[in-house]
Amino acid sequence: MQLYVDSTKCSGCNACRVACSLNLFGESNPKKSALVIKPHFPVPGVYEVKVCTQCGDCAAVCPEEAIKLNSKGAWYVDFDQCNLCEACVPECPEDVMFVRVELANAAWKCDLCGDCVDMCGTSALWIEEKETAGV
């Protein structure tokens, strides 16, 4: 399974980011979400949404093996095992692996919970099998 995005449908409302932070940290704090909404204004006047593709590159370099697979086949960070070494951050091809000690005591990333999909009012986000995904 994988999270997909059609950035052309994004309104920039950040509801997905709030839902994500609530799932991961129990807080309404978009800075603690595992997806990025980049505004490109005034030209071309669109939002670019960056999401985890569940490639596993972060897990491959984690010296503590703190990044594990969940029952959905998605990589997640075991907060208790993360030592904040940041080895995972530069490995993420989508730039959605986060370590910010001022915000959390562990790295974080998408765990494919689907809360962002449920909260997206424009249907810009969805979850599908990797092999059958289509835009």
pLDDT at residue 101, as a whole number: 83
Name the DSSP letter for residue 43.
T
Closest by CA position to 127, among listed 2, 16, 17: 2
Q: Where are the domains of the chain?
A: 2-128
pLDDT at residue 56, as a whole number: 96
Mean pLDDT across 24-47: 94
pLDDT at residue 102, as a whole number: 83
Q: Say what the pTM is.
A: 0.88
pLDDT at residue 132, as a whole number: 55
pLDDT bracket for residue 135 (50, 70, 90): low
Distance CA 104, CA 102 (A): 6
56-96 pLDDT, tens digit per residue, is: 999 999 999 999 999 989 999 999 999 999 999 999 999 99
- Topology of domain 2-128 in CATH is Alpha-Beta Plaits (3.30.70)
| 103: phi then psi, degrees, rounded to nearest 5 | -110, -35
